[in-house]
Amino acid sequence: MAQQWIYLNGEYVTKENAKVSVYDHGFLYGDGIFEGIRVYNGNIFKCKEHLDRLYDSAKSIMLDVPLAPAEMERALVETIRKNELRDGYIRLVVSRGPGDLGLDPRRSPKAWVIIIVEQLAIYPEEAYRDGLRSVSVSQRRNIPDALNPKIKSLNYLNNILVKIQANLAGVGEAIMLNSQGYVAEGSSDNIFIVKRGVVFTPPCYCGALEGITRGAIMELCAKLGYTLKEEPFTLHDVYVADEVFFTGTAAEVIAVREVDGRIIGSGKAGPVTTHLLQEFRKIVEIDGVKVYA
């Protein structure tokens, strides 16, 4: 990518000139929402699902997105074209916009829309075969009646505190429990376990984001004939699982080989994880919106 162009409220500015106000409430309070989306060979994977989640988050926090969904889709397509990108990552941010120093959103009359597209540094291919090491952390998931984890808000401090614990433990992704002790998700990935051929993932009420990759994997399980159960489980179930994997836009489907010092299954990516990853990679260029059609 020669020159990187950022979409900022309907205009394209260079990376160096892409600046937001210090009065922006996304900056001052984490007041806003976002999406992380992948482009695979010119296909915006699950574009509609990402935009649905964005507009649901906006409705929940009473944020008026200045673009209708079709206009937002067009802005995504145009930003990717402008950057001549075929494969990469899109960060779509809608902030409450500049206001005053008080937190009242009525003082931020206009939301800001920012689209950043970039090449993506992903895990090396060996990591998908060998699996990641992971640990559980003491930081609990936000409780839904305080800040619902279904809202993909700019307030990621809960997740960042988990990431700090993962860093301290020297692992790439950690496992976060909810306040009742059930497994919720990773710092920025959903979690699945496999036991005796059955695939399990925590329901969203356990504190999981309704991940788009999670949804794609659930659809693939149905298509490929795996029984999928969306039900609460504990760390014990993770330790004794045959397979554990994380899902996310950046990570795709990545196996976990060790959790809290317990080796999971064979100690490398298991057959169900490997199969789901293979099938996932077949749909990423098909299911979505074509940028260069």
Q: Which residues bind ligand PMP (CB under 6 A)?
A: 36, 159, 185, 188-190, 209, 211-214, 247-249
Write the DSSP assignment of 39-94 as a string of letters.
EETTEEETHHHHHHHHHHHHHHTT---SS-HHHHHHHHHHHHHHTT-SSEEEEEEE
Instruction: Provide, rounded to whole angstroms, the least separation between the CB of residue 268 and ligand PMP.
Output: 23
Burial grade of 200 (CB within 10 A; 0-12, 13-18, 19 or more): buried
Supply 105's token pair.
């959103």
Instruction: Provide, rounded to whole angstroms, the least separation between the CB of residue 243 and ligand PMP.
Output: 18
Nearer to ligand PMP, 108 or 117 (CB): 117
List 152, 195, 223, 282, catalytic entry: 152
Instruction: Provide, rounded to whole angstroms, the least separation between the CB of residue 13 and ligand PMP.
Output: 26
Nearer to ligand PMP, 98 or 259 (CB): 259
Nearer to ligand PMP, 143 or 263 (CB): 143
Tell me the β-bridge partners of 248: 252
3-state secondary structure of 236: helix
Distance between CA 3 and CA 99 in Å, rounded? 31
Told to judge if 152 belongs to the known catalytic residues of this protein, a careful annotator would answer yes
Distance between CA 265 and CA 240 in Å, rounded? 8
Nearer to ligand PMP, 7 or 89 (CB): 89
Instruction: Provide, rounded to whole angstroms, the least separation between the CB of residue 244 and ligand PMP.
Output: 15
Angle between helices 47-60 and 212-224 in degrees, nearest 10: 130
Q: Which sequence positions are flagged as catalytic?
A: 152
